Structure 1
């Protein structure tokens, strides 16, 4: 077989973006190998929110923003504990990546949304969510002449003279001048989770991963074959989950009262899930939702506003866990504690009665909420019966451990040097997403942006090699 210019492993948003970018930057032969029987991977399951700065839709909305401002906000949120060069490249290219997606047929709702707690709205939502984002990119990729081969799992990377030289897939050796690894995360492999994300595995049998079953961490084997550096230990996006049923719920109703094992509140419950994740993690990763009969009574359950953030196509969403029918069912099953008094509830849940009583009394006070929660989300917990449900950071959405990369998407060795011919993008990489998930669209934005960067870099380097 002739040597392919650029071979991409994985067909999610990162892989599709890399392949399309490679063709646009001079690669004459580009092939995508996908382990699953259909393209898209976990990207299809996303909400299609993408984060960036200084893009056309943002400017049309009259919003002034810059890559430098995005970079400062991003690094400040993670106390600068990230790879500055890679994050700066992401922030610099993120807005251009959104414009590029639009140019290739991806449709976004015109209204911008806040992805997290940022001061400037930096997110747009794809029409049709993640599935249509994948479909639009796949259409552009095929029109560009890229070959996509599904049901073809890469077993190992070919390494010759210190550079990536192709792959072995299903026993077949495929030569390539450059390899882009975009094979997704490792959430479907419990052994890798225990090694690289112990905080998640500490949730026990509550833990579940929302990605596809093919996300088995192939990149760790590839990294070992390349001699690559692995970064990002114990990072990833985890959501609060009550272990009722395995159902995805990104935001919790803002009228909840969330307390730690000491019976104290520690956060504004209507905050973005990245904030809830970090504050709950600092409180041991386990907490309790406390509420009263109003959540169970259908005549009062919907009176208080539930969500600060409402995304296009999900305006009428209802909580799959915190609705009257589910709550009644879980009380009957013993997963939600119930009592006629707060003291009785504290005893049932194993919480300090005096502290829980004081917390709820303070919450019910007419003063401004001590955690800064807007009054529209405050629903007093005043009339029994009272309820408490344990929640853990047990829904894993994104794994953020993997090969370190440069701002050009090059995989680096253990000394931080680029490995010739080897690139990575998306969920396989470490060092771009930190301890604090900046907000909705961070993961998809990272995938599309670094997919575009890695594909371009691979094509440019292949061209330079051919010219030498």
Structure 2
């Protein structure tokens, strides 16, 4: 297997296996950890293969949101009503178009149970709600709106509820030890207590296929040497997205080319390519989340305008929606216009991302002067501000439906922050799987012995996004991947024994 362009190899070419287990999991992030736990609990011997020197993946560096709802104990304790149906309606409206409704239904119907499963595994959620705008809570609060549920257009027709559940961590520091770390740590400890083994510094390269077309192992590299790992029952792929594979991004999601964010370099798309090499189907490979690099405490207090000086989205929605709207529909052109008092209020606010409390690019005494300084079409920004202020004095925003809490006229000295090209993102598409996390062939049939979960699959997000759907989707369907791998093994071994007896 010296050629790393090889994505699958024949089992007959392998004379010696270096490692062996019932279930082999590739990747020790959130999907891999939950898959390992459930496979072990189902009685399988489990081995996890990780390319880095330790567990965690992108999950351990994340803010830690897990998108859960339908009436979790945390929601109830904090006085928020939520139903499975409302959660389904929101996810199908916000995460599309083209959502896998069967996956969303299963996810929402199992959400409360999944919350309890995480708690039983040692994940702690503090009974505290953070109600301010932001990418995540700056402290150890356990619940927050994380997808724009309480903003237009969704709040008008779907009763909103906060579903961003965050593992507790005092003194957290996102990117090093944040909520994601406090999610991964107890899960890995649970896996270890169940006897799950791990091999590190091992880069998975290829699937091993037997003569019947069944996945029976993994081919990998360690320090330049070939390593072969036999899976007696099944292989689970949990290796992350393709955000750092320039060729795949260029071919499938070129709008974020050169701007990967909220992912790690290990997200090279290898798992997807391995699956494709044996006929696996993919879905929504063009879908991406788009971060918008400006602090929401400033965004809600001003108005966002495009390169024509026009508002285009409500400023109090989930910033990921703002990022998608800016990059996909406004040619990555955006400016935040804000008055002096609002700017000072936003800059003095508590936030998890103080580095995004940006300084003004232009300052002027009037809308006409600011418009000229920004180089916008004559009269465009003036008309936008005049129309906004006309209704803002009444505390309303009939154009876009901004929450009255944040609607006030822009008065006095004005400033604008240049937010052009202030976007970055990660990919959402990947291998097509069913609700039991079996990887599907282009024919629609499951590929024997192969399972997958996490960002290497196309999960509940088909286009839109809400913070917490990656860790939520990865952990929920990671569990199902582990269970399916263990159960599939029993079926496979039973069939083999029966065939042997009949022979």
Trace 1:85-124 onto structure 2 (pairs within 5 A). Answer: 85-111=102-128, 112-118=143-149, 119-124=160-165
- Is residue 2:415 matched to residue 1:386? yes
Trace 1:372-411 onto structure 2 (pairs within 5 A). Answer: 372-378=401-407, 380-384=409-413, 386-392=415-421, 394-396=423-425, 398-411=426-439
- Is residue 2:192 matched to residue 1:142? yes
- Is residue 2:116 matched to residue 1:70? no
**Superposed displacement of residue 322, structure 1:** 2.6
Matched-pair contact (CA < 8 Å) for 2:304–2:334: yes
Cross-structure match for 2:173:
none
Cα pair distance change 1:375/1:213, threshold 3 Å = same
Cα pair distance change 1:388/1:123, threshold 3 Å = closer
Cα distance in 2 for residues equivalent to 1:30 and 1:251: 45
Matched-pair contact (CA < 8 Å) for 2:272–2:430: yes
The correspondence for 1:450, drawn from 464, 467, 477, is 477
Cross-structure match for 2:313:
267
Cα pair distance change 1:251/1:30, threshold 3 Å = farther
**Superposed displacement of residue 75, structure 1:** 1.6
Cross-structure match for 1:429:
457
- Is residue 2:237 matched to residue 1:181? yes
Cα pair distance change 1:251/1:425, threshold 3 Å = farther
Matched-pair contact (CA < 8 Å) for 1:9–1:183: yes
- Is residue 2:345 matched to residue 1:303? yes
**Superposed displacement of residue 340, structure 1:** 4.9
Trace 1:344-363 onto structure 2 (pairs within 5 A). Answer: 344-363=369-388
Count of residues paired in the alignment: 434
- Is residue 2:216 matched to residue 1:165? yes
Cα distance in 1 for residues equivalent to 2:274 and 2:111: 27
Q: Secondary structure at the match of 1:167?
A: strand
Alpha-carbon displacement from aligned partner over 1:222-242 (angstroms, at most 9, x marks no partner):
122221011113212111237
Cα pair distance change 1:252/1:422, threshold 3 Å = farther
Cα pair distance change 1:232/1:250, threshold 3 Å = farther
Cross-structure match for 2:301:
255
Cα distance in 1 for residues equivalent to 2:101 and 2:263: 28
| Stretches of structure 2 lacking an aligned partner (at least 5 in a row) | 1-16, 129-142, 150-159, 170-178, 496-503
Cα distance in 2 for residues equivalent to 1:104 and 1:185: 26
Cross-structure match for 1:246:
none
Matched-pair contact (CA < 8 Å) for 1:410–1:422: yes
Q: Secondary structure at the match of 2:345?
A: coil
Query: Structure 1-normalised TM-score?
Result: 0.85
- Is residue 2:340 matched to residue 1:294? yes
Cross-structure match for 1:195:
251
Q: Secondary structure at the match of 1:303?
A: helix
Matched-pair contact (CA < 8 Å) for 1:341–1:386: no
Cα pair distance change 1:65/1:275, threshold 3 Å = same
Cα distance in 2 for residues equivalent to 1:316 and 1:390: 19
| Stretches of structure 1 lacking an aligned partner (at least 5 in a row) | 243-248, 308-314, 329-335
Cα pair distance change 1:362/1:304, threshold 3 Å = farther
Cα pair distance change 1:426/1:360, threshold 3 Å = same
Cross-structure match for 2:68:
52
Cα pair distance change 1:306/1:238, threshold 3 Å = farther
